[in-house]
């Protein structure tokens, strides 16, 4: 069974940092692009960042560009999200998800399946 599990969330003050992790199992992790998607309280999902299968290419939403960094370690079946200069508006549940698309790998597009259960990030003074 394909499975993702996030960790690393918590409560942090504005301006602080957190590092999220996501470990995958049950599928060929090294073949697929991966993304982080967040969902603020009462809101729809928002794509945050994506990374290609080999980590050579990355992309970010404008709202986090310059503050967040995505990376991956295929030997550990894991992706990471380093979040710096956190703001109150970054408060959300953060999900990792695999990117899928027709005709090859993708990391800035496609649909998302599966998703992890999410990890809560709260930025508050």
Partner 1 sequence: DIQLTQSPSSLTASIGDRVIITCRASQVINNFLHWYQQRPGQAPRLLIYAASTLQRGVPSRFSGSASGTDVTLTINSLQPEDFATYYCQQSYTSPPTFGGGTKVEIK
Q: Does the footprint of partner 1 cover residue 111 (CB under 8 A)?
A: yes
| Binding-site member from 16, 23, 58, 115 for partner 1 (CB under 8 A) | 115
Compute the half-sphere exposure of residue 105: CA atoms within 13 Å on the CB side of its CA: 17
Cα 10 to Cα 43: distance, rounded to the nearest angstrom: 19
Residues 64-103, mask of contacts with partner 1 (x by CB under 8 A): -------------------------------x----xxx-
Q: Which is nearer to partner 1, 44 or 104 (CB)?
A: 44
* CA-wise closest residue to 121 among 76, 97, 78, 91: 91
23 counts as binding partner 1 under rule CB under 8 A? no
The set of long-range contacts for 110-116, using a CB threshold of 8 Å and a minimum separation of 24, is 110/33, 112/35, 112/37, 114/2, 114/3, 114/4, 115/4, 115/37, 116/3, 116/4, 116/5, 116/6, 116/22
Among 17, 19, 113, 124, binds partner 1 (CB under 8 A): 113
**14-22, 23-31, 69-77, 108-116 -> range binding partner 1 (CB under 8 A):** 108-116
> Is 8 among the residues that bind partner 1 (CB under 8 A)?
no
- Residues that bind partner 1 in the complex, under the rule CB under 8 A: 44-47, 59, 61, 95, 100-102, 106, 108-118
């Amino acid at each position: 069974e394909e499975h993702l599990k996030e960790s690393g969330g918590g409560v942090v003050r504005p301006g602080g940092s957190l590092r999220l992790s996501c470990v995958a199992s049950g599928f060929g992790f090294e073949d697929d692009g991966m993304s982080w998607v967040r969902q603020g309280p009462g809101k729809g999902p928002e794509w945050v960042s994506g990374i290609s299968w080999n980590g050579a290419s990355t992309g970010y939403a404008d709202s986090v560009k310059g503050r967040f960094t995505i990376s991956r370690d295929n030997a550990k079946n894991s992706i990471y999200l380093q979040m710096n200069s956190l703001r109150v508006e970054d408060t959300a549940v953060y999900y990792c998800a695999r990117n899928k698309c027709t005709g090859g790998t993708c990391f800035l597009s496609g649909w998302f399946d599966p998703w992890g259960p999410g990890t809560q990030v709260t930025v508050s003074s």
